[in-house]
Amino acid sequence: MTSNQVANGSDALLFLDKKRTYFIRVRSGESFHTHKGFIRFDDIIGRAYGSRVRSSLGEEFAVLKPSLRDFIQKISRRTQIIYPKDMALIMLYADIRPGSRIVEAGTGSGALTVLLADRVRPDGRVFTYEVREEFLDIARRNVERMRLSSFVEFKNKSIMEGVEEEDVDAVVLDLATPWEVVPFASKALRGSGYFASFSPTIEQTIKTCVAMEKEGFVAVETVECLVRRFQVKEGMTRPETLMTGHTGYLTFGRKILTD
């Protein structure tokens, strides 16, 4: 069975329309129930992703192969602060690449961990710090579901007590007080390595930049990323009425060695 076929136990995205999209685990003998009727998983198993399937009420769904973004959106639905758009920018601005060794904190439900792990494959590694054990368990399960466990080391520790790794390529933070971690991040980074931090408020961002300046980081930059969705239909094209006006500020910098 090729990788583009729906297997028993695999994930799928049932797509009715943009607002009615369901991330499911396909299990033989079971079915998925919606307001538009139910779908028997045995009708899907063995078919190619991208196929259409009809519910018991005749409604047509597309069976999609979930993307990392789909998964990230699913697992961060409740705790979502840092959005896919912000993560996408972090990947490029902090130069997360195959082979990179990354320190992350806090892990949360593992949404960013999953993306980092996928990017550093096959010979890089993510060291992720999370002080709340219950979150670490959730994150571990999420990373495992994406089959990325061998690229992640979960650490049930507070990064406020220091970073144990050395010569890492990037430190990526989604914490309430990132400025307190700046000295540890600086110590852990290789020369020219990347500091990246996400903060919802401007006060957090200011404190973080002040701390970075003190540690001698260069190329310090703070940005915000706005993504605006459009309705594109001939004769009715326009941006959507409501948009996400703010998620957080992203701050980046590069480590300089002291002689």
* Positions in 239-258 near its own copies (CB under 8 A): 239-249, 251, 254-257
Size of the site for its own copies (CB under 8 A): 83
Q: Is 226 in the site for its own copies (CB under 8 A)?
A: yes
Residues 131 to 170: which contact its own copies by CB under 8 A? 167
Applying the rule CB under 8 A, the residues between 97 and 126 that interact with its own copies are 97-98, 115, 118-119, 121-122
Quote the least distance from Cβ 213 to its own copies, whole Å.
9
- CB atoms under 10 Å from CB of 112, counted, come to 27
Of 27 and 65, which CB lies nearer to its own copies in the complex structure? 65
Other CB atoms closer than 10 Å to residue 63's CB: what's the count? 21
**Among the listed residues 158, 163, 151, 162, the one whose alpha carbon sits nearest the alpha carbon of residue 136:** 158
Residue 128 or 251 having the CB closest to its own copies: 251
At 21, is the secondary structure helix, strand, or coil?
Answer: strand
Largest separation between any pair of C-alpha atoms in the chain: 71
With tokens 């049932």, the residue in question is 14
One of 106, 108, 178, 193 touching its own copies (CB under 8 A):
193
Pairing mode of beta strands 152-155, 168-173: unpaired
Nearer to its own copies, 62 or 131 (CB): 62
Question: Which residues, at least 6 apart from 212, have a Cβ–Cβ distance to it below 8 Å?
Answer: 182, 195, 220, 251, 253
Q: Are 24 and 11 in contact (CB under 8 A)?
A: yes
- Binding flag, residue 237, its own copies (CB under 8 A): yes
DSSP state, 48? B
Alpha carbon distance 16, 221 (integer Å):
41
Q: Which stretch binds its own copies (CB under 8 A): 34-42, 103-111, 134-142, 230-238?
A: 230-238
Give min distance, CB of 157 to its own copies, in A: 26
Q: Closest separation between CB of residue 133 and its own copies, Å?
A: 28
Q: Are 139 and 132 in contact (CB under 8 A)?
A: no
CB of 245 to its own copies, least distance (A): 3
Give me the phi and psi of 14, to 5 degrees please.
-90, 120
> Binding string to its own copies for residues 41 to 80, with x set by CB under 8 A, is what?
-------xxxxx---------xxxx-xxx-----------
Assess 183 for contact with its own copies (CB under 8 A). Answer: no
Which range touches its own copies (CB under 8 A), out of 23-31, 106-114, 154-162, 214-222? 214-222
User: From residue 169, how far is each of 39, 127, 205 by CA, in Å?
Assistant: 46, 11, 22
Give the span between the Cα atoms of 246 and 201, in whole angstroms.
Answer: 10
Q: How far is the CB of 125 from its own copies (least distance, A)?
A: 14
Residue 19 engages its own copies in binding (rule: CB under 8 A):
no
